[in-house]
């Protein structure tokens, strides 16, 4: 938890030094961690590159709920979208 807190803090400060477009950058509350199969790294890179288009068809929230359901992860809606 401390590592993620430090990364978020330092990266926020760093990106705000990159120009006016980033002056209002803030991380959302909370975090999640997921592993990636090394053989599917290209697929993950493509997903990230097309994320804006992808989420115009399916919201992040709907995609995340489907992911949790697919992998049988129990969660409480009250704590997921803080």
Residues of the chain with pLDDT under 50: none
Supply the pLDDT for residue 49.
Answer: 94
Supply the pLDDT for residue 30.
Answer: 76
pTM of the predicted model over 0.85: no
DSSP string, 4-47: HHHHHHHHHHHHGGG-GGGTT--PPSS-------GGGHHHHHHH
Supply the pLDDT for residue 31.
Answer: 77
Supply the pLDDT for residue 82.
Answer: 62
């Amino acid at each position: 938890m401390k590592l993620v807190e430090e990364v978020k803090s330092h990266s926020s400060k760093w990106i705000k030094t990159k120009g006016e477009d980033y002056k209002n950058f803030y991380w959302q509350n909370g975090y999640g961690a997921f592993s990636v199969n090394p053989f599917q790294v290209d697929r993950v890179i493509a997903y990230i590159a097309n994320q804006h288009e992808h989420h115009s068809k399916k919201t992040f929230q709907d995609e995340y709920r489907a992911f949790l359901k697919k992998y049988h992860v129990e969660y409480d809606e009250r704590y997921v979208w803080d």
